[in-house]
Structure 1
Amino acid sequence: MSKTVSMCRMACIAGAVALPAAAQELLGIRINGPEQVAENTVTYYKVFAAFDNGQEYEVTLFAELGVDPGVYAQMGVFGDLATFDVEANTVETLLAAFEYDGVRKEAQQDVVIIDRDSTGYALDFAGDQVLVPNSASLSISSSMTVEAWVRFHNPSGRGPLVFKGDGRSGLDPYQLLLESGNLRFRINDDQNQGTSVDYDIRSYNWNTFHHVVGMFDEPAGELRLYVDGEFVAMAFTELTPMKNQTGTDVVFGGKIGDPVKLDGELEEIRIWNIARDVEDIRETMNVVLCGAEPGLVANWRFNEGEGQVVRDLSRYGNDGYLGDSPQPDNLDPRWILSEAPLSPAVCEPVDCDAIRKFKVTCRAGTLQAKVRSTLPGGTELTIDNNGDFAVMTIRGNGNGKLAWKEQTGIHTLFIRECPGFLEAVNCG
């Protein structure tokens, strides 16, 4: 071990950790936590031990913990990494050791300290809400994944994180919420029948942000919960979210017409129309997305820092507003600096100079958009058609085409990645 080692508070030997009798041989350990953290924050890590019974057990309190070089960064006995006075863009190496029945295993993980300014903003909810009007992309009735970074002020309390519904009992297709100390993900079908999965989160240290995920996997018939990239709970179901979601909006921090509101902070909310693999969740939970990832239907980063609008950075443009109306009101949450451990996106922008021509025509009710370019084959362009969108995939020759049938009236089309390319046409 290296600098700033915190020795385990109990003897790290057989008998000190309550393990099933089937767990006889220690095979290895791993450190679980983000690979990037913001400067001047406290982030909690966990240590898991793998045994020959095929199971893992958390042993954080019984492990030796340290950080190298550890001149300013400090690692506490609860797995708390403090990065006060640590310069951004430096690397700290977390160290862990655990001994069981005479077998000692060690692990390490590099952590990049990032500039706190790059983590953007969060919203602080105290009886407040954000409302996102309903759309076809948010009306998911099959597999889905809902993600958020959250810091509960009262982890034993109640309050929605992400709620889809209209406020009437049972007419709520999906929701991720805190229910009396339990993280809950729930779906309701068209017959007002519901299934939920719960997990007690009160043992977590809520002085810091944690990443939470609610997932519905329709082919498997499973509801799942993940916390900080770890699978924590599952429930089986034969239900699917209601098909007709007309009039059901998405709300952060509350339910429409319900006085029970979230007491906590939210950051980086994402909704997908797929059941994501746990490896994908872990890979992207600490990284800001580019917005065009397959299956992503909404991504609110809360980086505005002011004003009434929260922008959806996905292709679907599901923008929302603070409070109960587009105007300031007493349900507006408060903008704050975020301490969620998120690093900036690494996205390859579209080379707009490579687009030679953007042409829009409409004949006999068929609307067409064509692109000629020197873009590489496989490049995807988002074509906005009067607020709706479709994805154009550029072929190997640099050209692409989209068509819409049975169109009427005036249509204004533009390339979202390159908004300077805009054309209007009258379909009659």
Structure 2
Amino acid sequence: MWSCTKSRRIVRDEEAPNVGYDFNGTNEYLRVEHSDLIYSDDGSITIEAWIKPETHIGLGGIVSKYHEPAVESFSFRLGPTTISNSLEFTIGNVNLTTASGEVTLNQWQHVAATFDRTSSIMNIYVNGELVRTYTNAGTLQLQENTSFLAIGMDYLDGARYFEGEIDDVRIWNYARSEQQIADTMNNELNGDDQGLVAYWKLNEAVSPFVDSTGNGHTAIRIDN
């Protein structure tokens, strides 16, 4: 159904320039102002990113639009402190959390979360492989809010920050399959791929960070 054009292959090593943004874990994140284009017509979504966490900060945000208690929308983040080196994906008040140890500290890994509104299935993937699924979501819906989107932080009131590097953040307006995620996770995309609604390559040395889809979701560094 959906097509995707691969661009150059991403090489990640300590000597490679312009690979991701390094978050301090205490007071900084990237802020993207609200746009209705982030949401799909049917309420499905896929969030993807490469991460290299230095520490496991409980609920440290990777990508979050969860800053209004009344309308929680979505969040993809590290898991709670009680489940070390885990991931958590939230849709509204439903939290899907992986087992401990799915995330490796001080190492690059690709992470993805999907929600299919039609089937109400939530999935979490690590390095292109399914690690956690929730199939009893029933009538779960992705609520829309007008809050900003954050990269590297979760929930502004009592913020939980991400410490480490985040790279190549993508948001799609449909639930991508395991095969689709695996096929493109190692490649930097052109940005014009069908269903790709926001894409931050994070190759810039400093803020602002452009949205390569052309939809204008510019990310600005915030240092609280």
The alignment's TM-score, normalised by the length of structure 1, stands at 0.45
> Out of 133, 156, 164, which is 1:234 matched to?
133
1:144 paired with 2:45, answer: yes
> Out of 81, 94, 116, which is 1:217 matched to?
116
Higher strand share: 1
Contact 1:268-1:300 at 8 Å conserved across structures? yes
Q: CA deviation at 1:262?
A: 1.4
Paired letter, 2:167: E
Q: Matches of residues 5-404 of structure 1 in structure 2 within 5 Å?
A: 38=11, 116-117=16-17, 120-125=18-23, 126-127=25-26, 128-140=28-40, 142-155=43-56, 157-165=58-66, 167-179=67-79, 180=81, 181=84, 182-188=86-92, 194-202=93-101, 204-236=103-135, 237=137, 238-243=139-144, 245=145, 247-254=146-153, 255-306=155-206, 308-323=207-222, 330-331=223-224
Supply the distance in 2 between the matched residues of 1:205 and 1:131 (Cα, whole angstroms).
26
Equivalent residue of 2:20, what SS? strand
CA separation of 1:40 and 1:231: change in aligned 2, threshold 3 A: closer
CA separation of 1:204 and 1:187: change in aligned 2, threshold 3 A: closer
The alignment's TM-score, normalised by the length of structure 2, stands at 0.84
Q: CA deviation at 1:124?
A: 1.4
Q: CA deviation at 1:242?
A: 1.3
Paired letter, 2:111: V
CA separation of 1:40 and 1:184: change in aligned 2, threshold 3 A: closer
Equivalent residue of 2:189, what SS? coil
Contact 1:155-1:202 at 8 Å conserved across structures? no
Supply the distance in 1 between the matched residues of 2:43 and 2:95 (Cα, whole angstroms).
15
CA separation of 1:227 and 1:170: change in aligned 2, threshold 3 A: farther
Structure 2's unaligned 5+ residue stretches are 1-8
Contact 2:10-2:188 at 8 Å conserved across structures? no
Return the index of the structure with the highest Cα Rg: 1
Structure 1's unaligned 5+ residue stretches are 1-35, 42-114, 189-193, 324-329, 332-428
Structure number with the bigger relative contact order (C-alpha 8 A, sep ≥ 6) is 2
Supply the distance in 2 between the matched residues of 1:204 and 1:271 (Cα, whole angstroms).
20
Paired letter, 1:316: N
Q: Deviations over 1:201-248 (max 9, x none)?
A: 5254322111000100112210000000000111131211114x2x21
**Identical pairs, percent:** 25
Q: Deviations over 1:69-109 (max 9, x none)?
A: xxxxxxxxxxxxxxxxxxxxxxxxxxxxxxxxxxxxxxxxx
Paired letter, 2:91: I
Q: CA deviation at 1:200?
A: 2.5
Supply the distance in 1 between the matched residues of 2:168 and 2:36 (Cα, whole angstroms).
21
Provide the aligned length of Structure 1 versus Structure 2: 206
Question: RMSD value over aligned CA atoms?
Answer: 2.0
Structure 2 residue aligned with 1:6: none
Supply the distance in 1 between the matched residues of 2:31 and 2:185 (Cα, whole angstroms).
24
Contact 1:155-1:201 at 8 Å conserved across structures? no
